[in-house]
């Protein structure tokens, strides 16, 4: 898990189908809130649970799901643009 100020191990990462906002721990606790969550879903693109996406959107945080390799590349590009984002990358 990444935010603009730190990187954290996600040792208890659930399967994509079981993701919840709670599973992200304090990743989203930034001021100001992140623009969106880059969600790396492992070796292939899988959609996160709709309930999780709705819960994040209710907080004004978008969700961009992609395979974890693409998410890692996108992180570098978006942070180089100084975008205020967070990332949760599931293992390959």
Q: For residue 79, how many other CB atoms are within 10 A of its CB?
A: 14
**Domain membership flag for residue 26:** no
Q: Which residue blocks in 5-92 are alpha helix, DSSP H?
A: 50-58, 68-80
User: How many domains does the chain contain in total?
Assistant: 1
Convert the pLDDT of each residue in 4-56 to its tens digit: 999 999 888 999 999 999 999 999 999 999 999 999 999 999 999 999 999 99
End-to-end CA distance of the chain: 14
- Write down the pTM of the prediction: 0.94
**Domain membership flag for residue 18:** no
**Domain membership flag for residue 20:** no
* pLDDT at residue 12 in the model: 87
Specify the CATH number for the domain of residue 87: 3.40.1230.10
Q: Which residue blocks in the chain are alpha helix, DSSP H?
A: 50-58, 68-80
**Domain membership flag for residue 50:** yes
DSSP state of 39: E
**Domain membership flag for residue 4:** no
Domain limits at 57? Answer: 37-92
**Domain membership flag for residue 90:** yes
**Domain membership flag for residue 51:** yes
* pLDDT at residue 82 in the model: 96
Report d(CA 27, CA 18) in Å as an integer: 17
**Which residues make beta-bridge pairs with 37?**
63, 86
**If you compute the radius of gyration of the chain from its CA atoms, what whole number of angstroms results?**
12
């Amino acid at each position: 898990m990444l935010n603009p100020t730190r990187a954290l191990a996600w040792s208890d990462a659930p399967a994509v189908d079981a993701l919840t906002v709670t599973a992200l721990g304090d990743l989203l606790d930034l001021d100001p809130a992140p623009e969106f969550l880059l969600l790396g879903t492992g070796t292939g693109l899988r959609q996160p649970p709709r309930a999780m996406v709705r819960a994040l959107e209710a907080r004004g945080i978008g969700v961009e799901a992609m395979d974890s390799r693409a998410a890692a590349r996108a992180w570098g590009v978006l942070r180089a643009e100084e975008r205020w984002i967070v990332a949760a990358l599931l293992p390959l």
